[in-house]
Amino acid sequence: MKKQKEGNYAACWRFLKESRWYVVTALLTFCIFILIGFAAPIFFTDQINALIQEMMLGLEGLNTQEIISYIFFNNLQASFFAIILGALFGVFPFITSIFNGYLIGFVMRFAVEENGIFILWRLLPHGIFELPAIILSIGFGIKLGSNLFKKKDKWKSFKKDFKESMRFFVFVIVPLLIIAGIIEGTLIALAI
């Protein structure tokens, strides 16, 4: 059993190394749209405010364990679909990267306006585990979709990358999201 776990983690590491440029693409897109959301929070203002309000209402009346579960399953679903829907030529994960980056920049802008620049340090623990998990998922989704543009062995590459993405999801992304859910849920519960 231990040897198989080591094999799974070694396979995850190999897949991450071979997927690094897709992950870098996801990260750069994400960061560019954080900057856009922070510098120009003018797009979709009503929709974003409604989304934030809906999320806050979803947390209302929940205890710490329920908040942790809510956050974990929300992030789990987002990460899973970022990979799976990458099969549609990588479009969905790319849009996910744009939207989430812009949303974070938008929220950061208003948090800084309300509470000053040092509020960003308080927001840091929320993203240490969550953002890498989501960015990795987006990168793997983009990679999965890029297989459909290959001229040779596209289905063989697609199946291999799908299998490796799911392995990475189970052994790396899910544990990161569990830790993120615990940290973020606990901090939110303390703030309410």
Whole-angstrom distance between the N-terminal and C-terminal Cα of the chain?
43
Helices (H) and strands (E) in the chain, counts: 9, 0
Per-residue pLDDT, 46: 82
Per-residue pLDDT, 154: 83
Per-residue pLDDT, 3: 57
The residue segments making up the domain with residue 48 are 2-191
Per-residue pLDDT reduced to its tens digit, 141-167: 999 999 888 878 888 999 999 999 999
Per-residue pLDDT, 35: 94
Output the pTM of the full model.
Answer: 0.88
Q: Which residues of the chain fall short of a pLDDT of 70?
A: 1-6, 192
Backbone angles phi, psi at 189, to 5 degrees: -60, -40
CB 57 within 8 A of CB 178: no
Per-residue pLDDT, 14: 95
Cα–Cα distance list, 40 to 25, 36, 158 (Å)? 22, 6, 38
Per-residue pLDDT, 2: 55
Q: How many domains does the chain have?
A: 1
Per-residue pLDDT, 78: 93
CB 74 within 8 A of CB 175: no
Cβ of 63: how many Cβ atoms within 10 Å?
10
